[in-house]
């Protein structure tokens, strides 16, 4: 899938990138989310070009290395944009995510670190079964969007790799937040929750 087509599919939708805004519940974040739905910015607007380029070029290599570590996984796909798993969801047309890969139906989020310090900081919480805050919303949104309640989180450098199958029994908080946000978005009276 070309970057332009991928960006077009994501435009005007709540994705793993904007899930942090939804979950924050603040008026400012919800106003920004409403703005994104009304007037979508370019897909790569807020991404550092250097880090994005490193991630894009290394992602297939990391995916192959990761797959070699997990012979139990039968299929690893590059899904592009994935719509919400439930086509009857009230807000289906506004929902989706773009995991880096899908392994036997479970989304995979890959993070490439250019420094050992960044890698160490990201893997520290993984030892206890956690995903670092800045990526938690993204991982949970992928899991919720796919209806799996699970997402692989893979962190790698050129020669190191750590992974975690993140699971959360209940992700219904996204449904509740989505309903509250959409009530305010539809009436154009964004107050947030906080």
Angle formed by the axes of helices 133-146 and 173-187, nearest 10°: 90
Query: Which residue carries 């590059």 as its tokens?
Result: 78
Instruction: Please give the pLDDT value at position 11.
Output: 77
Q: Would you state the pLDDT for residue 46?
A: 47
Does 85 score more than 60 pLDDT?
yes
Model confidence pLDDT, tens digit, residues 19-32: 999 999 999 999 99
Strands annotated E in the chain: 76-77, 82-83, 96-97, 101-103, 106-112, 150-156, 161-167
User: Which tokens is 123 given?
Assistant: 């893997």
What is the tens place of the pLDDT at every residue in 113-147?
Answer: 989 999 999 999 999 999 988 799 999 999 999 99
Kindly compute the dihedral angle of the four CA atoms of residues 149, 152, 153, 155, in this order, to the nearest 10 degrees: 180
pLDDT at 158 over 70: yes
Average pLDDT of every residue of the chain? 89
**Average pLDDT value for residue range 83-98:** 95
% residues pLDDT > 70 (the chain):
88
Domains, the chain: 3-187 (3.90.320.10)
92-118: pLDDT as tens digits = 999 999 999 999 999 999 999 989 999
Dmax over Cα atoms in the chain, in whole Å? 51
| Least confident piece of the model among 56-60, 70-74, 150-154, 187-191 | 56-60
- pTM for the model: 0.89
Ramachandran assignment for 92, one of left (phi > 0), alpha (psi -120 to 50 degrees), beta (any other) = alpha
Confidence of residue 6 (pLDDT cuts 50, 70, 90): low
- Residue 173, CA distances (Å) to 23, 116, 141, 156, 180 in order: 8, 34, 11, 30, 11
The residue with tokens 């570590």 is 69
Nearest to 17 by CA among 38, 39, 36: 36
pLDDT score at 17: 87
In which residue are the tokens 């904007």 written? 18
Q: With contact defined as beta carbons under 8 Å apart, do 30 and 20 qualify?
A: no
Edge-to-edge strand order for the sheet containing 150-156?
76-77, 101-103, 106-112, 150-156, 161-167
Q: Is residue 43 predicted with pLDDT exceeding 60?
A: no
In this prediction, residue 26 carries a pLDDT of 95
What pLDDT is stored for residue 120 in this prediction? 95
């Amino acid at each position: 899938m070309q970057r332009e087509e991928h960006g077009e599919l994501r435009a005007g939708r709540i994705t793993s990138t904007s899930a942090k805004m939804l979950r924050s519940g603040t008026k400012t974040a919800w106003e920004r989310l409403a703005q994104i739905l009304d007037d979508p910015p370019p897909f790569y607007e807020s991404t550092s070009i250097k880090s994005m380029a490193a991630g894009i070029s290394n992602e297939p290599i990391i995916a192959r290395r990761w797959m070699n570590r997990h012979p139990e996984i039968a299929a690893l796909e590059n899904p592009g944009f994935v719509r919400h798993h439930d086509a009857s969801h009230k807000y289906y047309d506004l929902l989706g995510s773009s995991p880096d890969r899908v392994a036997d139906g479970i989304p995979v989020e890959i993070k490439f670190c250019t420094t050992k310090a960044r890698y160490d900081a990201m893997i520290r919480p993984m030892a206890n079964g956690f995903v670092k805050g800045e990526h938690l919303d993204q991982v949970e949104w992928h899991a919720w969007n796919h209806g799996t309640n699970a997402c692989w989180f893979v962190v790698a450098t050129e020669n190191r790799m750590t992974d975690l199958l993140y699971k959360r029994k209940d992700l219904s908080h996204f449904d509740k937040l989505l309903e509250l946000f959409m009530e305010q978005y539809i009436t154009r009276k964004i107050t947030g929750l906080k």
